[in-house]
Amino acid sequence: MTFGISLDIGTSGTRAHALDMSDGKIIATAMTSCHPLPGANIMDHLTFCMRNGVELAHNILMDTVNKVIANLHIDLKQVERVAICGNPIQLSLFQGIPIDDLAFAGKNAYKAHNIKQQKRDAGVFNAAAVGMNVPDNTELLVPPAIRHEIGADALAMMYKSGFLDQKNNCLVTDYGTNAEMALKVGDEIYTGSAAAGPAMEGQSIKWGMLAAPGAISDLKYEFRWRCKVLDEKMEVLPGDQYDFGLEMCTEEGPMHGRAKGITGTGVIAAVAAVVDGRLWRKGKIQTSDGKLHMQDGIYVDSNDVSEACKAIGAIRAGHFTLLEHAGVKFSDLDIMYMAGASGTYVDAIKARDVGLIPPLCTTVYQIGNTSLLMATDILRNPELLDKLQEIANHIRSNHVMFATDKIFEEIYIQELAYWDEGMTLGMYNSHLEQAGIQALPEVKGTPTVHRAVERDIPEYGPYGLFILDNVGTELIGKFDGCNKCGKCVNECPEHALSMDEDGTFRVQTKKCLGTACYRCQMHCPQKVYKYDQLKMI
The one-digit pLDDT tens for each residue of the chain (537 residues) are: 899 999 999 888 899 999 999 999 999 999 998 889 988 777 788 888 888 888 989 999 999 999 999 999 999 999 999 999 998 989 999 999 888 878 776 666 667 777 788 889 999 999 999 999 999 999 999 999 887 667 899 899 999 999 999 999 999 998 877 888 999 999 899 998 887 776 776 667 888 887 788 999 999 988 899 999 999 888 889 999 999 988 899 999 999 999 999 988 899 999 999 998 899 988 899 999 999 999 999 999 999 999 889 989 999 999 999 999 999 999 999 999 999 877 887 889 989 999 999 999 999 999 988 999 999 999 999 999 999 999 888 876 688 889 889 999 999 999 999 998 889 999 999 999 999 999 999 998 899 999 888 888 889 999 999 989 888 888 999 999 999 999 999 999 888 999 999 999 999 998 888 877 889 999 999 999 999 888 887
In angstroms, the CA 312 to CA 440 distance is 14
Calpha distance 522→214 (Å, rounded): 36
Give me the DSSP letters along 168-206.
S-EEEEE-SSEEEEEEEETTEEEEEEEE--GGGGT-SST
pTM, to two decimals = 0.84
Helices 425-434, 406-420: axis angle to 10 degrees equals 160
pLDDT digits (tens, 9 = 90+) for 419-473: 988 899 999 999 999 999 999 999 988 999 998 888 888 899 999 999 898 888 8
Q: Spell out the alpha helix ranges (H) of 255-383.
A: 264-276, 302-326, 340-345, 348-354, 370-380
